[in-house]
Structure 1
């Protein structure tokens, strides 16, 4: 029987199993990433959009399966957000490579996701701190995924607002643009807010962990 432990709330058991149904779904989603890039770079817009949309639409599936079948695993807790980040970075990189999104969006998404991946990894490995995913973060990811799918499909195009005359703000200038850009903007704003929340929550958890270590050290010295 796989070794199990309880999470901080004590309500859900977390196993060390690898080949659970939820984890298999996560692995399949991961395999869709290179397939999406190959299709896109070979001009197969519709096929690339379908693969990306499938990988993005199943974002909630692995977590729901794990919870409903009571097979939440340590690997799954790591895979789910990591694959979301990988898919996000690959998605934005793909639409940039085909010239449908400005560079600053790439930089913002990659830097934000790298910050969450590296920061979360350090907190988990060194301090055993894991900041739970919040639903606004899922909504931000969904907006971005929908936006990327729209940019991949590149149809239909809608008129720009004509508020400025700069090429690096598609949608706000006068050029026709994919409807997906507005989902991108909404997702970026929401994701930045969620990143601030994660940072504050992580800082509080880190302070608590350091204080606990300090108390344990004092107790050990006193003994």
Structure 2
């Protein structure tokens, strides 16, 4: 069974209610890598944890591409794909924080931003049948963060800080040796915050159009 959903541009696309599609299987496999990554990291296997995290992050594009190319875009997949990205992001940053390689404020920014996108996107799709498509700058931001986390996980090679400040909460700008991954973290944070503003504006516009087209249906969700 298939249905039509609106995206943020107002166009409709056909989605299926099938669960066991190839794209969804890839998504489930990526999800299973999350606890594996944490177990390896917390037991001191930095290289193995880095490899598992890298594979989970590098396959980010696969599920979406498979779904589109095989015409098996599913409602579950539209929820699962961004949710796993957010789960992997949050778990990744919490992992490097637990082992003491990143300051707390980075955790707060990443977790709050990702929970906002995860919850907001879920409400829009399940209640209002609206999906805000991922844009390439968002993918770049996610890639920068994933690469940065992988660098912090590997913790090698270390590079000297810039020595611009004595603030310990700004690794890389202060004195001392740091992982090269911290610079990817900073780049990813800046880009991701800008993308979050874009998603918020696009979602607000899409919701306004949907309410104008059919206020009763959008107010009560899909039947």
Q: TM-score scaled to structure 1, two decimals? A: 0.91
How far apart are 1:126 and its partner, in Å? 2.6
Partner of 2:158: 157
- After superposition, the CA RMSD in angstroms is 1.5
How far apart are 1:209 and its partner, in Å? 2.4
Counterpart check, 1:206 vs 2:204: no
Return closer, same or farther for 1:215/1:82 CA change in 2, 3 Å cut-off: closer
How far apart are 1:122 and its partner, in Å? 2.0
Counterpart check, 1:182 vs 2:183: yes
> Per-residue CA shift, 1:30-53, capped at 9, x if unaligned?
000000000000000000000000
> Per-residue CA shift, 1:67-99, capped at 9, x if unaligned?
111211111111110000000000000000000
**Which residues of structure 1 form unaligned runs of 5+?**
217-223
How far apart are 1:213 and its partner, in Å? 3.9
Partner of 2:46: 45
Partner of 1:58: 59
How far apart are 1:211 and its partner, in Å? 2.6
Secondary structure of 2:123's counterpart equals helix
Partner of 2:14: 13
| 1:88-99 matches, cutoff 5 A | 88-99=89-100
Structure whose CA Rg is larger: 1
Return closer, same or farther for 1:169/1:127 CA change in 2, 3 Å cut-off: same
Return closer, same or farther for 1:20/1:107 CA change in 2, 3 Å cut-off: same
| 1:22-171 matches, cutoff 5 A | 22-171=23-172
Asked if the contact 2:97–2:104 (Cα under 8 Å) also holds between the matched residues in 1, the reply is: yes
- Report the Cα distance in structure 2 between the residues aligned to 1:214 and 1:18, rounded to whole angstroms: 30
Higher strand share: 2
How far apart are 1:214 and its partner, in Å? 5.0
Count, aligned residues: 213
- Report the Cα distance in structure 2 between the residues aligned to 1:41 and 1:215, rounded to whole angstroms: 50
Q: Which has the higher contact order (CA 8 A, sep 6+)?
A: 2
